[in-house]
Amino acid sequence: METMLNRRLFRIEEVSQFCEQEGKKTIFYETPKTAGAVWCLKPGQSVFTHAHTTSDDLWIVLKGTGTFFPEPGKEVTITKGDMVISYPGEQHGMKNTGDEDFVFVGVAGPMPMDLICFDDE
């Protein structure tokens, strides 16, 4: 029988998954209000540039160094310990430009969350 603690406590190493072909997103919880996911990227892999019209999207970098794309033509270096918030309508995407794996947790809401995709640069 699952206890309340099992539904509330997650371990990064248990929800982190990598894929050799592309960055891997693993949703580890979803409620009517928010959702959480772990993104795992090998060097050179990326998260496509996108936005959400009504949801905030908070990224918390746990490992690695990458390049964040906050708007067309702009790049910002992000690394372990950084937190990046994208508000509704704001473009966001990133690429692992470092030499090691890149891992971040994303928390977004409110739900449901739409997705507006942009051409990757």
Sorting pLDDT into bands at 50, 70 and 90, what band is 119?
confident
Pairing of strands 46-51, 116-117: antiparallel
The C-alpha atoms of residue 65 and residue 62 are separated, in whole angstroms, by 10
- What tokens appear for 63 in the block? 């490992």
In order of start, what are the domains of the chain with their CATH numbers?
A: 23-112 (2.60.120.10)
CA dihedral 79, 117, 29, 80 (to 10 degrees): 0
The C-alpha atoms of residue 23 and residue 64 are separated, in whole angstroms, by 14
Sorting pLDDT into bands at 50, 70 and 90, what band is 19?
very high
Q: How many CB atoms lie within 10 A of CB 74?
A: 9
Model pLDDT for residues 57-90, shown as the tens digit of each residue: 999 999 999 999 999 999 999 999 999 999 999 9
Query: What single-letter DSSP state applies at residue 13?
Result: H
